[in-house]
Amino acid sequence: MSENESIEISEAQIAVHWQEEQYFQPPASFIAQANMTDPAIYEHLSLDNFPEGFKAYADLLTWYQYWHTTLDTSDAPCWKWFVGGKINASYNCVDRHLTKYKNKAAILYVPEPEDEPHVALTYQELYVRVNELAALLRDFAGLKAGDRVTLHMPMVPELPITMLACARLGVIHSEVYGGFSGGACGERIADSGSRVLITIDGYYRSANLLDHKEKSDLAIKVAKENGQAVDKVLVWRRYPGKYVSKSPMVKNRDYFVDDLLGDYAGKRVEPVPMPAEDPLFLMYTSGTTGKPKGCQHSTGGYLAYVAGTSKYIQDIHPEDVYWCMADIGWITGHSYIVYGPLTLAATSVMYEGVPTCPDAGRPWRIAERLNVNIFHTAPTTIRMLRKAGPNEPKKYNYQFKHMTTVGEPIEPEVWRWYYHVVGKGKAVIVDTWWQTENGGFLCSTMPALHPMKPGSAGPAVPGIHPVIYDEDGNEVEAGAGKAGNICIKNPWPGTFQTIWEDRERYVAQYYEKYCKDQNSKDWRDWPYFTSDAAMQAEDGYYRILGRVDDVINVAGHRLGTKEIESACLLVSEVAESAVVPLVDEIKGRVPDVYVSLQPDIKPSKKIENAVTKSIETTIGKIARPKNVYIVPDMPKTRSGKIMRRVLAAISNGRDIGDVTTLANGEIVEEIQRMVQGQL
Ligand code: WTA
């Protein structure tokens, strides 16, 4: 048995082994209206036509200046797309639609309280609000192209408005998921070097009006401890003019945006033509070490890629009402609520709260009311809605033409409920596999061209050329019945450019493993390592098994086990901690925590609670563990490494395998007895 810890606890290892599934054909009615029905797109975006084929995606955008080099590899593996091109993302998402669509809804906002009216922002209204805020950010906050600004905002229309106002100025936004703690936000403020934080006083979640502003004090404290001073906090109000937070406003630091905006009424700000390869935003994600990684996404390449995939894979037409029920605080929301749909002049629905509030019929009432015809969500949500209201969709008169699942593997059984009950057997489904780093989809069926297969993402999307390698770098062939590390052979415009200010880590994490020549400037030598295990069936469809590194995918969101482990160590009684993925019926995976204590400290419920609390305050409730087990010692190898594989097996009630190499084998039985209450 390998001593490599990261492989030992991988999600891929505890993945369920599914049977081959039958195909489902896309309905004729869908094919008849689809944006892409020509299989030649795969030829056009083949490696033979690489990288020029991607011009087709860039041509969906409006450029101030065309590029001279489609792909510049001179700083491999930091790829530069559309070099020489000048473009503005805000212009492409807003201004350019005004001639045809100024009175069409860009964003339809649904507050969680059902008696609160919906908000419809037309493209004209979005234009006005983005401009006024851009003027404020420039003139009041002193922000200019290249500056970073941290947003810690929930699902409110002010979030996309703020993102687009930043983009208008070339300011790099770094949105931190609203559910993350102040501490997690502070770390990201410091890493990105933001001196401005944009937040909101409160928002609704599960029928509670949460105090969100209170998180900003801790965020600023943590940022300061990490060497970054914040001089302005811009606070939106959930109800303009009425402050709903208990947290005091700090003089000369905290300002209400709705108060300030008065001075900018009617102001217009020319979009700044940005070099295509300048960053548009940072999105932090968990990786193999404790510190979150700031994935740096480009302006031109990213926007081209999300426009292309939104048009062809999401099949968005301007006439559609498109609802992606993700949170904009994650990459899915950036790419497929804001930037992708808005470049295509879509109507994008945003919902503030939880899908089951006040009951499991809520999403379907919203779909019926707004006449949503494209729906996008994650397996966790599908499982939750299936459990809470298996027959709810039937009660509502809506009809989707297209549905997406994203973020984790979906069990075929859950897929079938999504298809038959949510989609009423009439919608096409795409299972889209990709990552924060990628900007947009990597694998998915092309909805009008391929049959669907439950549990499989499908083939690669046009322009993406995957390969599965074993640990030694040999290719695992389609139909081999074996899993391996799925990599992508070629760069694509949506891929991130680097980890913010950490090129070394970028190379080490994503490219070193299978790099053929570290000095090469040829992209062919730099396959991109995704850290996912996958297998490819004979028909070419990929089935993603899960992460091979120490990341836990909780409800479709990546959490670093190391981050959770260090939060446990903040409890002074704790000596060692180990976090493993536990299979969960609804969330896919949840963290299970093992801690051992300092000498002479007795286990107690109080310590268990302190561990949970520490995780919640350092990371957020999303990382809350299912169990905290206080163990007398951790199972360890002779070299002293914690055997997380053994703990993961115990948590999941699985065979613990060979433990003869352990330094302290006897501890395993003891832990097993404690966790499983048996032997
Ligand atoms: C997993 C979310 C199976 C995968 C867009 C990946 C999936 C991680 C799928 C990225 C899918 C995402 N089927 N697994 N359709 N989509 N994953 O960065 O393990 O939050 O590496 O990006 O989610 O999560 P991230």
Cα R_g (the chain), whole angstroms: 24
Could you tell me the distance, in angstroms and rounded to a whole number, from the CA of residue 435 to the centre of ligand 1? 5
Mean pLDDT over each residue of the chain, to the nearest integer: 95
Mean pLDDT of 386-399: 97
Q: Report which protein residue has its CA nearest ligand 1's atom 5.
A: 435
Give the pLDDT score at 1. 35
Pocket lining: 332 vs ligand 1, CB cutoff 6 Å: yes
pLDDT single digits (tens) 207-241: 999 999 999 999 999 999 999 999 999 999 999 99
Mean pLDDT of 11-23: 77
Residue pair 379/405 in contact (Cβ under 8 Å)? The answer is yes
Q: How many CB atoms lie within 10 A of CB 623?
A: 28
pLDDT single digits (tens) 422-479: 999 999 999 999 999 999 999 999 999 999 999 999 999 999 999 999 999 999 999 9
For the cut 80, the answer to whether the pLDDT of residue 5 exceeds it is no
Mean pLDDT of 500-505: 97
Three-state DSSP class for residue 116: coil
pLDDT single digits (tens) 641-677: 888 989 999 999 988 888 888 889 899 999 999 998 7
Q: Which atom of ligand 1 is nearest the CA belonging to 285?
A: 18
Least confident segment among 52-61, 288-297, 461-470, 527-536: 288-297
Could you tell me the distance, in angstroms and rounded to a whole number, from the CA of residue 283 to the centre of ligand 1? 15
pLDDT single digits (tens) 31-79: 999 999 999 999 999 999 999 999 999 999 999 999 999 999 999 999 9
d(CA 448, CA 298): 30
Pocket lining: 335 vs ligand 1, CB cutoff 6 Å: no
For the cut 80, the answer to whether the pLDDT of residue 288 exceeds it is no
pLDDT single digits (tens) 403-427: 999 999 999 999 999 999 999 999 9
For the cut 90, the answer to whether the pLDDT of residue 343 exceeds it is yes
Q: Report which protein residue has its CA nearest ligand 1's atom 25.
A: 435
Pocket lining: 433 vs ligand 1, CB cutoff 6 Å: yes
Ligand 1, pocket-test mutation among 433, 456, 549, most atoms within 8 A of CB: 433
Q: Read off φ and ψ for residue 566, nearest 5 degrees.
A: -70, -30
Q: Angle at the Cα of 276 (from 81 to 172), degrees rounded to 5?
A: 120
For the cut 90, the answer to whether the pLDDT of residue 324 exceeds it is yes
Pocket lining: 408 vs ligand 1, CB cutoff 6 Å: yes
Residue-by-residue DSSP string for 219-239:
HHHHHHHTT----EEEEE-SB
Could you tell me the distance, in angstroms and rounded to a whole number, from the CA of residue 558 to the centre of ligand 1? 8
> In 524-551, which positions are buried (b, 16+ CB within 10 angstroms) versus exposed (e)?
ebbbbbbbbbbbbbeeebbbbbbbbbbb
